[in-house]
Every structure is written in C-alpha cells, then in structure tokens.
Amino acid sequence: MRNPKEVEKEDYHEFYKKTFNEFLDPLAYTHFTTEGEVEFRSVLYIPGMGPLNNEEVINPKTKNIRLYVKRVFISDDFDGELFPRYLSFVKGVVDSNDLPLNVSREILQESRIVRIMRKRLVRKTFDMIQDLSESENKEDYKKFWENFGRLLKLGCIEDSGNHKRITPLLRFFTSKSEEELRSLDDYVENMGEKQNAIYYLATDSLKSAKSAPFLEKLVQKDIEVLYLIEPIDEVAIQNLQTYKEKKFVDISKEDLELGDEDEVKERETKQEYNLLCDWIKQQLGDKVAKVQISKRLSSSPCVLVSGKFGWSANMERLMKAQALGDTSSLEFMRGRRILEVNPDHPIIKDLNAACKNAPDGSDAKRAVDLLYDTALISSGFSPDSPAELGNKIYEMMAMALGGRWGRSESDDAEASEDDSEEDGNTRESSETQVIEPSEVRSENDPWQD
C-alpha cells in the first residue's frame, strides 16, 4: 500500500470506484497506518450514496471491507468482526502483517489482534465523520446525514461505549430551527443560563411537532425543543440519557419543571381549581390517573401527558404497530395518563363555574367527556372509538348551532311528521295490489291524449 503523501485525491476516488464497483465519488476517505502492538494499513471510505433497501441497513454482512494479509486477499465476508452493524456502510481495504495467511472465521472471531484492529478502525471512522461534519462544505455532511443518519442513531442503542463519539454527530430539527438540522452542540451553546436540561418532543412528523400543545409554554419562555420525528429517535435519545451533563427531558411526560414559577400564584390557582380537578377526575374515572393544573399550556384548554415511566404517545403508537395482535403488554406499559388543564382558558373557567353551580348538569358532563377525547387526539394518542367521538362532536355541534340561522323547532317537528306519514304510506302501499306502469296516469299527465 502506497504512502498517503504520494497519493492524490483523484487516485483515491479511482481506486474506490474500481474496487467497489461504484459510480459516485465517496463523500470522504481516510488513509492511515497504525503501529505498536498491532500494525496494519487501511483506506476507508464513506460512500456517496446510502443503502438502497432495509436489508442492507440491518445486515452486517455487506462485504464492504476487504482484508489482506501481507498484500494477499483473504476475505470480504465478515459478520461484524471488523465493524459494528451501525457502521457497516463504511467501505475500505485493510492490510495486516500480523495475521496468518490461513486465517479462518473462527480465528477472526477469537483473535485479540482482530479486536484491536476493530477498535482502531472504528475510531478512525469516527474521526473521518467528525472531520466531514466540520468541513466548510456543509452540503457534504447534509448528504451524509440523509444517507446514514439513521445508522448513527442505531449506534446510540447498540454501542454505549462510543456514545461520546456518536452524540456530537447527531442532527435534529428544533423549535428554533424548523428548516435546517442542528447539532446538540449548537443546542447547548444557545441554552439559557438557567436552563439545565435538553428538552425534546417525539412525534410522527415535523408538522405534528410544530402544533403540539406541549410546546406552548416553552416557546413562550424562548426554550428550544428538539423534534424527534423518526421512529428510532426516541429510543436513541433515551439510551443517551445525558449530553455534556445536561439531562434529556421529554416534555410530554409528567412533572415538567421549567423554572421561574410564581409559587404564590401557583398555590392560589391550585386552591381555586382544586374542586374542578376532583370533579373532572370523578367524571372520567379510570381514564386518567389524576387531573392537575398545567405548567406547560398557554393557549390550549388541556393536554394529556404520560406518566414518568410510561410510554409517550409516540412510543405507544410505534409499539401498537409492532404488537402483532398481542396487546397484553401494551396495557401494562402504557402507564398512567394525567390530564392537565389550563386555568386561564375560557373553557376551563366555564367548567369551574359549572362544577360549583351545576355539578350534576348533563351538558357539563358531556363537555368533560369531549374535552378528554380532544385532549387525547391533540396530545398524539388514538381514541378507542373514533365513531363514538364523532357522535359526541355532532351532538355538541347540534347544541351550539340549533336555530342560529333561523331554523325553528317547528321545522324539525314538521320534518318528523312528514317522515312518519311517508313511512305509513309505504307500509299501506305494500299491502295493495300491484298496478302496471302503463295504467298509471295523473290528472295533469302531459303525455296523455
């Protein structure tokens, strides 16, 4: 293998295309020699195009690494011995003098030399990706993230030993950067002085994240929130737990602390709405674990949050899709749900008056049921019976719109009477004899002579 100082960029690209039958230039490459306990030389590449299908993503047997011993080709059939699964997209050539020429699969799996080689290859790969992320050409790393970002997130789950190398490479949309991806370093650098956590929200799309009620108070306080919009994101972040001594916090879970609370006002509000919370809990029964005043809402009347150790709405949706019909574990892991109400919203103020003046009123009870169902949807959960929810909405619409545009109750009565008469005539006619169409004539039949 030639000295890196003697090789031009075009030579590396040509070697890559011929060796791996590629037609696109690589995004990046690194050529290095390691000395010491184990000596080997290697050229590694990041492809210019991502995997074409999911099988290539999850299958570590990609034949992307070619092993040579003393310049004699040995094998390209590896099962994770030289690279972990989440870095299986890396292509390259490795030449070692320390392995025997008759090396077998069993030797590769048990060899201390191979373990050392793997560790150094992985480290050099991360250095190459880090250099790509810091390069002046931002489009290159953007292309890399589009092609291989999901695989790096898989590394957050499968390789805890390299979290410190993986985390700076991650990119997410945020509440302050909805068009461009941002790094966690950028997020931490722009945090407020009193902010001691990295806040995130997991949803199924960027559009859902932008309109989620959980964001309202954080946006008002100018606190940035990470948008986790891919299925793997939430699990990846939960495996990281912290970054630069900042804990990751899900804003859709209970006990969200944002700081700067007015304790006196908070105590007065709880006292004012304590009866309402108990009344709503009584109406909803086991649907919620409790009802409490919200610290995260500013414009929505209520929101449904998950328990600290339960699944979020996003995780529940993903697990339902993978349950294969067995929902027994879903009920257990779903955990408790907590309804948080916004005391500054007109609907909550009206219900507060209703629970004091007409706690047994049917209209107020229907309003509480509908409030819960709408909170269920706006918070990202799925209603148990969409048809039942639709009927509740139609019923409330009928109450709100009744007679507003001049329609009177007598119109409904007349329509009801007409329907009854038509039903009677239908039953009567069904008992009479059948008349041939040719015999049917009206007094004003225009075609009758």
Q: How many Å apart are CA 417 and CA 359, to the nearest integer? A: 36
Count CB neighbours of 36 within 10 A.
Answer: 7
* Contact yes or no for 42/65 (Cβ under 8 A): no
The whole-number average pLDDT for the span 323-328 is 58
Per-residue b or e along 230-269, where b marks 16 or more CB atoms closer than 10 Å to that residue's CB: ebbbbbbbbbbeebeebebbbbbbbebebeeeeeeeeeee
* Contact yes or no for 103/40 (Cβ under 8 A): no
- pLDDT tens for each residue of 276-296: 999 999 999 989 999 999 999
Q: Which CATH class is domain 4-160?
A: alpha beta
Torsion-angle region of 227 (φ positive above 0: left; ψ -120 to 50: alpha; else: beta): beta
DSSP states of 191-215: --TT--EEEEEE-SSHHHHHT-GGG
The answer to whether domain 263-401 has CATH 1.20.120.790 is: yes
Confidence of residue 310 (pLDDT cuts 50, 70, 90): confident
Of 337 and 327, the structure prediction assigns the larger pLDDT to 337
Of 212 and 416, the structure prediction assigns the larger pLDDT to 212
Residue 168 has pLDDT above 90, yes or no: yes
Chain-centroid distance, C-alpha 109 = 37
* Contact yes or no for 325/311 (Cβ under 8 A): no
- Nearest by Cα to 225 from 238, 214, 235: 214
Task: Find the range with the poorest average confidence among 14-28, 165-179, 305-319.
Answer: 305-319
> What is the domain partition of the chain in residue ranges?
4-160, 170-250, 263-401
Task: Give the per-residue pLDDT at 414.
Answer: 58
Q: Which helix (H) or strand (E) holds 72?
A: strand 72-75
- Nearest by Cα to 302 from 267, 335, 342, 271: 342
Q: How many Å apart are CA 155 and CA 232, to the nearest integer? A: 11
Torsion-angle region of 88 (φ positive above 0: left; ψ -120 to 50: alpha; else: beta): alpha
Q: How far apart are the first and last CA of the chain?
A: 108
Q: How many Å apart are CA 200 and CA 216, to the nearest integer? A: 13
Task: Give the per-residue pLDDT at 419.
Answer: 55
Q: Which residues are annotated as a binding site for ATP?
A: 105
Instruction: Please give the CATH topology (third level) of the domain spanning 170-250.
Output: Rossmann fold (3.40.50)
Residue 396 has pLDDT above 70, yes or no: yes
Task: Give the per-residue pLDDT at 415.
Answer: 53
Of 408 and 152, the structure prediction assigns the larger pLDDT to 152
Residue 398 has pLDDT above 60, yes or no: yes
Confidence of residue 332 (pLDDT cuts 50, 70, 90): low
Confidence of residue 36 (pLDDT cuts 50, 70, 90): confident
What percent of the chain lies above the pLDDT cut of 90?
Answer: 50
Q: How many Å apart are CA 156 and CA 170, to the nearest integer? A: 10
* Greatest C-alpha distance within the chain: 116
Q: How many Å apart are CA 34 and CA 386, to the nearest integer? A: 63
* Contact yes or no for 251/218 (Cβ under 8 A): yes
Q: Which phi and psi angles does 288 have, rounded to 5°? A: -130, 150
Q: How many Å apart are CA 293 and CA 269, to the nearest integer? A: 8
* Contact yes or no for 66/89 (Cβ under 8 A): no
* Contact yes or no for 74/103 (Cβ under 8 A): yes
Q: How many Å apart are CA 434 and CA 428, to the nearest integer? A: 12
What percent of the chain lies above the pLDDT cut of 70?
Answer: 82
The whole-number average pLDDT for the span 436-445 is 45
The reply to whether domains 4-160 and 263-401 share a CATH topology is no
Beta strands in 103-168 (DSSP E): none
Q: Which residues are annotated as a binding site?
A: 105
Residue found by looking up tokens 């007109």 in the block: 346
Q: For residue 373, with 0-12 CB atoms within 10 Å meaning exposed, 13-18 middle and 19 or more buried, which class applies? A: buried
Task: Give the per-residue pLDDT at 377.
Answer: 92
Residue 58 has pLDDT above 80, yes or no: no
Confidence of residue 1 (pLDDT cuts 50, 70, 90): low
**Dihedral of alpha carbons 96, 102, 108, 111, sign:** negative
Q: How many Å apart are CA 275 and CA 293, to the nearest integer? A: 11
Q: Which residues pair with 247 in a beta bridge?
A: 197, 242
Residue 315 has pLDDT above 70, yes or no: yes
- pLDDT tens for each residue of 83-113: 898 998 999 999 988 877 777 767 677 778 8
The whole-number average pLDDT for the span 223-235 is 95
The whole-number average pLDDT for the span 250-257 is 91
DSSP states of 216-245: HHHHHTT--EEEE-STTHHHHHHHH-EETT
The whole-number average pLDDT for the span 352-377 is 90
